[in-house]
Amino acid sequence: MAQRNPGDTGSAGEPPGLAALPGSWDELVARPLVQFESVSKRFGNFVAVERLSLDIREREFFALLGPSGCGKTTLLRMLAGFEQPSEGRILLDGVDISDVPPHRRPVNMMFQSYALFPHLTVEGNVAFGLRQDGMPKPEIAARVREMLALVKLDGFGARRPHQLSGGQRQRVALARALAKRPRVLLLDEPMSALDRKLREDTRFELMELQDKLGLTFVIVTHDQEEAMTVADRIGVMNAGRLAQVATPSDIYEHPNSRWVADFIGDVNLFEGRVVSSGLGHTVIESEAGGRLLVTHPTDASAGTAVTVAVRPEKVRIDTSASRVSDENCFAGRVVEVGYLGGVSIYKVALDNGLRMKATVANRTRPVERPAGAGDRVWLSFPPEAGVVLLR
């Protein structure tokens, strides 16, 4: 996973046009590029986005992640100008753009369907936005060449969209959206139409492009792997609200709610009550039976109902009880083993009635399985692995 440091965004290289804006330099650096200020969007009785506030920083690769219908695309379309917020303001560079029509916003979008103009050539598509600005012809030609080179489509300029493969069309759409050097590039599920292999390559190319161009990218996706790979920060959305905004590793390792923990990746959830909590450790009595010890700090007092989340790859699987301590240990029987190539998933029915998952990396060839279906096993995890969730 290529993880970049989101802390260095905004400091390197002064974005053009900032000198003309009022305010001190520190203020400008601190000010986010895009600000949603308690934005709501209703379609009739349906609330797509509800009092959502979000800051997106300059030169950031920001991902909006969520299940379908959570409002992430509506949020993106409001930023592009295709939808008007019912309430609240959207600011770009500190200026309210809520009432600016889409054709006057310095924001470009790459559409899920690519929306390439079928009656224009690849060149015509990429040049479309530049022509609207009245850019001189030689400059347009130069910029189009530059853009096609950037997306590795040199020599395809004279083709029509229907003469291109899906991957090539996606690149044309990208080149077209980037040609005007937008303040923000919006990507609406940009890779949903590509096959898996191409999708993985494209992710890294997108990240490279964003680094090279120093632009701000906002991507909407329902593919969490995609969001985790490309984004500096992820906004996880649920039912029109932001559930959590954090770096990919924080979202995964420190989810702030039961919903986020469950939505992102695979997870084992234990309902229970806090027995005692002290500095650096919390003891939880599981509802189903068994004690849990986690180092994750919590300010929940004794007796509070909490959920402990443990990722399956942090669970250890043993075939004997001898090496296992009292806490964080559950005996059970393997129900099934799912082989995924790189890892195998063990689904275990615990003696206390719960189900638990553990993933084991397949390091050897042929695969050595510690246990098969029906075998008795002991699952355990270290105190650092668990996260205590209050909601």
Partner 1 sequence: MRSRSGIGGMSRFNVTSVALGLAFLYLPIAILVIYSFNASRLVTVWGGWSTRWYVALLHDQAMLEAAWTSLRIAALSATAASVLGTLAAVALVRAGRFRGRTMFSGMVYAPLVMPEVITGLSLLLLFVALDAARGFWTVTIAHTTVTLSFVTVVVQSRLLSFDRSLEEAAMDLGCPPLKTFLTVTLPLIFPAVAAGWMLAFTLSFDDLVIATFSTGPGATTLPMRIYSEVRLGVKPEINAICTIMIAMVAVGVVAASLLAKRGELAKARAA
Q: Is 203 in the site for partner 1 (CB under 8 A)?
A: no
Q: Which is nearer to partner 1, 3 or 132 (CB)?
A: 132
Q: Should residue 41 be labelled a site residue for partner 1 when binding is judged by CB under 8 A? A: no
Rounded Cα distance, 100 and 84, in Å: 9
Binding mask 122-161 for partner 1 (x = CB under 8 A): ------xx--xx---------------------------x
**Does the protein bind partner 1 through residue 168 (CB under 8 A)?**
no
Single out the segment in contact with partner 1 by CB under 8 A; choices: 60-68, 79-87, 268-276, 303-311: 79-87
Q: Which of 289, 302, 282, 315 is nearest to 387 (CA)?
A: 282
In angstroms, the CA 85 to CA 79 distance is: 9
CA–CA distance, 20 with 193 (Å, rounded to integer): 41
Structure tokens at 152: 């590795």
Q: Quick one: tokens of 341?
A: 């190539």
Q: How many Cβ atoms from other residues are within 10 Å of residue 128's Cβ?
A: 17
Contact residue for partner 1 among 46, 82, 204, 339 (CB under 8 A): 82
How many C-beta atoms surround the C-beta of residue 87 within 10 A? 14
Tell me: does residue 259 bind partner 1 (CB under 8 A): no
Residue of 33, 19, 10 lying closest to 79 (CA atoms): 33
Q: Which is nearer to partner 1, 195 or 384 (CB)?
A: 195
H or E, element range at 167: helix 166-178
Smaller CB distance to partner 1: residue 188 or 232? 188
Report the half-sphere exposure of 196 (CA within 13 A, side-chain side): 1
243-246, long-range: CB within 8 Å, 24+ apart, which pairs?
243/66, 245/54
From 162, 196, 197, 365, residue interacting with partner 1 (rule: CB under 8 A) = 162
Contact at 8 Å (CB) between 336 and 324?
Answer: no
Question: What's the token pair of residue 94?
Answer: 């500190």
Q: Which of 1, 7, 26, 104 binds partner 1 (CB under 8 A)?
A: 104
Q: Near partner 1 by CB under 8 A, which window of 77-85, 201-209, 295-303, 309-317?
A: 77-85
Residue 353 amino acid letter: G
Q: How many residues bind partner 1 (CB under 8 A)?
A: 28
By CB under 8 A, which span of 100-108, 221-229, 237-245, 267-275 interacts with partner 1? 100-108
- 80 counts as binding partner 1 under rule CB under 8 A: yes
Closest approach of partner 1 to the CB of residue 169, in Å? 10
Interaction of residue 119 with partner 1, rule CB under 8 A: yes
- The residues of the shown chain that bind partner 1, judged by CB under 8 A, are 80-82, 101-105, 107-109, 111-113, 115-119, 128-129, 132-133, 161-162, 176-177, 180
